[in-house]
Structure 1
Amino acid sequence: METLFRTDDSWSNLVLRIVLGVVIFAHGAQKLLGWFGGNGFSGTMGFFTGVMHLPWLIAFLVIIGESLGSVALIAGLLTRFTAASFIVIMLGAIATSHWPQGFFMNWFGKQQGEGFEYHLLVIGMSAALFIAGGGKWSVDGLIARWISGRQRDERDLRRSKEFKAVG
Structure 2
Amino acid sequence: MINRITATEPNTVPFILRIVFAIVLWPHGAQLLLGLFGGYGFSGTMQYFTTQAGLPSLIAFLVIFIEFFGSLFILFGLFTRLVAVASIILFLGMIFTVHQQFGFFMNWYGSMKGEGYEYHLLVIGILVCLVISGAGKISLDGILHKNTK
Shared fold (TM-score greater than 0.5)? yes
Q: Secondary structure at the match of 1:95?
A: helix
Give matches, 1:5-154, under 5 Å.
Answer: 5-148=6-149
Q: How does 1:151-162 map onto structure 2 within 5 Å?
A: none
Q: Aligned partners of 1:23, 1:54: CA distance in 2, in Å?
A: 24
Structure 1 position 22, deviation (Å): 1.6
Q: Aligned Cα RMSD in Å? A: 0.7
Letter in 2 for 1:62: V
Distance apart, 1:10 and its partner CA: 0.7
Looking at structure 1, the residues matched to 28 and 118 of structure 2 have their Cα atoms a distance apart, in angstroms, of: 16
Shift of residue 14 of structure 1? 0.2
- The aligned length equals 148
Q: Which amino acid aligns with 2:69?
A: L
Structure 2: distance between partners of 1:81 and 1:21: 15
Q: Deviation of residue 85 (structure 1)?
A: 1.1
Classify the secondary structure of the residue corresponding to 1:112.
Answer: coil
C-alpha displacement of 1:47: 1.1
Task: Classify the secondary structure of the residue corresponding to 1:104.
Answer: coil
CA distance in 2, matches of 1:10, 1:67: 25
Q: TM-score, normalised by structure 1?
A: 0.87
Shift of 1:96: 1.0
Identity of aligned residues (%): 50
Structure 2 length-normalised TM: 0.97
Once the two structures are TM-superposed, the CA of residue 117 in structure 1 deviates from its matched residue by 0.6
Shift of 1:3: 1.2
Gaps of 5+ in 2: none
Q: Deviations over 1:57-100 (max 9, x none)?
A: 00000101110111111000010011111101100111111000
Return the structure number with greater relative CO, CA threshold 8 A, min gap 6.
2
Runs of 4+ in 1 over 3 A off after TM superposition: none
Residues 19-40 of structure 1 deviation map (CA, whole Å, 9 limit, x = unaligned): 1012110110010001111111
